[in-house]
Amino acid sequence: MVLSLVAGSGNPILAGNLSAALRAPLVPRVLEHFADGELHVELEQTVRGHDVYVLESICPPVDTHLLELFFIADACRRAGAGRLTAVLPYFAYARQDRRAHGREPIGAHLVARMIEATGFHRVIAIDLHSPEIEGFFHLPLEHLTAAPLLAQAVSASSDTIIVAPDLGAVKLAERYQAILQCPIAVVHKTRLSGESVSVRSIVGDVKGRAPLIVDDMISTAGTIEAAVKALFEAGCRSDVRIAATHALLVGPAFTRLAALPIREFLTTNTVAPLEPLPNPHRVVDVAPLLADVIGRLAHERSLESLVVHR
């Protein structure tokens, strides 16, 4: 099957990089909204019988990008695409993975169900906030991680300590540890409200060490802010580094980050940035990782050697 790459509007730069990495031009497409806000999609090149990869980062505005994903899928399917794979570098609603109260929806379940209903055959995702979301799908979902890419971009010294800013990040921290061979500390928090965080204690000896805070995503940066504060109180060195796959950075995130003494912010381009980061930063391109996986899937080759990215 011919490989075709169709991109939604969620992350045009990543789309370009992925196209280059795959040596596959993006399928030209119309993707516009009418005056009444209705989406209009049209592919301008045949995908009949092709192995089609639809790239869409479900970053804000999330509802718009979700609808785009579904409309592109329907266009491809009706146009005779041979196989349809959703490539979702950032997967929205991943935190709605269960009901906290009895009368809530499970957002991630709904997204999974709609992806299945619109005709996809396979999904590729990166560093899902809740890895169990794989089980929300009857479709195969390939869950990749960018942690090794970010870890390799770090130059760790002997006094570096990897910090999980909450318990949910410990497994990720261990992925960094496997590469960087540094000790780990954990900031154990209790959430007081939706966006603020109350740091209680730190597991591990951070005194005099240079912290590398790692997380899957940075949304409002509240968790990071609280972690940094706690680390300083615990005698940590002030040259903080942060590594996070998804730099969503919404609401007060830019303000908060600007106020922190961050030596370096390491992230990837899964999310298209809204504005330039206020801190010294490096952005690792996930296009080579995605291109590698897509290439293997397209040629029916094993993903086995990718195991470090899964």
Q: Which residues are catalytic?
A: 189
Number of residues that this document lists for the chain: 310
Residue among 174, 179, 264, 279 that touches a second copy (CB under 8 A): 174
User: Per rule CB under 8 A, is residue 9 in the interface with a second copy?
Assistant: no
Residue 278: is the preceding peptide bond cis (ω within 30°)? no
Tell me the per-residue interface mask from 99 to 128 with a second copy, x by CB under 8 A, - otherwise: x-xxxxxxxxxx-xxx--xxx--x------
Nearest to 270 by CA among 13, 6, 7: 13
Burial 57-69 (b: 16+ CB within 10 A, else e): bbbbebebbbbbb
Strand partners, 246: 217
**Interface with a second copy by CB under 8 A: which range of 9-17, 18-26, 145-153, 182-190?**
182-190
Residues 213-232 that bind a second copy (CB under 8 A): 219-220
Q: What mask, x for binding a second copy by CB under 8 A, covers residues 243 to 272? A: -----x-xxx--------------------
Instruction: Detail the DSSP E strand segments found in the chain.
Output: 3-7, 29-33, 39-43, 51-55, 83-88, 122-126, 141-144, 160-164, 184-191, 197-203, 210-218, 240-247, 262-268, 281-284
**Whether the Cβ atoms of residue 133 and residue 102 lie closer than 8 Å to each other:** no
Contact mark string toward a second copy, 131..150, x via CB under 8 A: xxxxxx-x-x-xx-------
Closer Cβ to a second copy, 151 or 164, answer by number: 164
**Residue range at the interface with a second copy (CB under 8 A); choices 15-23, 32-40, 228-236, 276-284:** 32-40
Of the pair 275, 307, the CB lying nearest a second copy is at: 307
By CB under 8 A, how many residues form the interface with a second copy? 96
Work out whether 44 is an interface residue with a second copy (CB under 8 A): yes
Nearest approach in angstroms of CB 222 to a second copy is 10
Report the alpha-carbon distance of residue 255 to residue 66 in Å, rounded.
28
CB 149 within 8 A of CB 286: yes
23 binds a second copy (CB under 8 A): no
Q: Indicate which single residue of 62, 153, 179, 283 sits in contact with a second copy (rule: CB under 8 A).
A: 62
257, 254, 261, 251: which is closest to 231 by C-alpha?
A: 261
| Distance (Å, whole) CA 87 – CA 14 | 11
Select 124 or 260, whichever has its Cβ closest to a second copy.
124
